[in-house]
Structure 1
Amino acid sequence: MKLSLKTSAIKSFGKTDENDIKSLEKVLNIRFPNDYKDFLLKTNGGSILNDNTNEIVLKNIGKIINIDILYGVNTENSCFDIEYWTKKYIDDLFEKTVIIGDSLQNGFIVMICDGNNDGVYYYDDSYYFDESNDENNVYIISNNFTEFLDMIVKR
């Protein structure tokens, strides 16, 4: 599936290439879905325009998050790198999970790529929401990356 992305809502972190993405997949022992790889090749992540288009409702708890950053590969600032954040929180993440961004509420956007629970989720590691606790602080956003991107970027 090819992504046809209008990138005006994303301030790109520059360029990456297929070799960098394959290297990251190897380091993290994960295989990214094609739509996510296509996104990285087109934008390498970036900061999201802070307006109402960056709002996402977490349906299972009825709360709103605001997408702030979608991380990239080998960016000039490690704070914007998928590898940096995923390795930093690796012990707290489910297997085959990668941190792909963050929100203004200080939580992370994560993607699970295990074949059973695939999708994009909100990881409320700071317990911003009253509903979050040690047993439950991960909330589904979408079943795939394209669906997630459709929520925050006008095509």
Structure 2
Amino acid sequence: MIFERQNEPIDEATIKGFEVARNLRFPSDYRAFLLKFNGGRPADANAFWQIDELNLLSIEEVYGFTSDSLNSIEKDRFNNFSNSIHMQLLQIAYTGSQGIYMDLREGPMHGKIYILARPANKALKVDDAGFQDEDDYEEALFLHPVANTFSEFIALLGPDPNEA
């Protein structure tokens, strides 16, 4: 992936501290991405993608560890999930109007990528393990699967410049 603007590099201790504080574990491909790139604004050639029946979307920002609270995975993002689910569906990117979330719940859904977008799915397409209340189920209807892994998601956006 090529960035127009890239965040400052981070180290393993920063990632580990976040994982311990949130009691979660990043998938290895996402950890490697954070250590190498740490997010930023993708170059236009790498920002556009389309899934299912949704319109063509553009990634405005891939979040990382940064002091800019608008682009940091460390800062809480607004959504209607209960605190338990909110902590485990980490917003990792933004399209300008829709959030991109990584599922960090343990089990077969770990590492899957979703877009939280309207209109709602016709049926729940995400594993509902851990959804604790009616609001969680209702909000989950807006999660559209994007990719099974972070690597698959990034591949949708463009090539790694080191592989070109």
Q: Deviations over 1:68-108 (max 9, x none)?
A: 101111x131111102134x44637456211111003x111
Unaligned runs of 5+ in 2: 122-137
1:80 aligns with 2:68: no
1:65 aligns with 2:57: yes
Aligned counterpart, 1:154: 159
1:140 aligns with 2:134: no
Aligned counterpart, 1:3: none
- Off by >4 Å, runs of 4+ in structure 1: 92-95
- Amino acid across the alignment from 2:5: K
Q: Tell me, yes or no, if the aligned pair for 2:26 and 2:104 is still in contact at 8 Å.
A: yes
Q: Tell me, yes or no, if the aligned pair for 1:45 and 1:70 is still in contact at 8 Å.
A: yes
1:103 aligns with 2:88: no
Provide the rounded CA distance (Å) in 2 between the counterparts of 1:82 and 1:145.
15
Shift of 1:10: 5.1
SS at match of 1:44: coil
1:37 aligns with 2:31: yes
- Amino acid across the alignment from 1:82: I
SS at match of 1:63: coil
- Amino acid across the alignment from 2:114: Y
SS at match of 2:44: coil
- What TM-score do you get using the length of structure 1 for normalisation? 0.78
Tell me the percent identity: 26
Aligned counterpart, 1:56: 49
- Higher alpha-carbon Rg: 2
Shift of 1:42: 0.6
- What TM-score do you get using the length of structure 2 for normalisation? 0.74
Aligned-CA RMSD value: 2.2
Provide the rounded CA distance (Å) in 1 between the counterparts of 2:87 and 2:10.
25
Provide the rounded CA distance (Å) in 1 between the counterparts of 2:20 and 2:57.
31
Aligned counterpart, 1:120: 113
Aligned counterpart, 1:14: 8
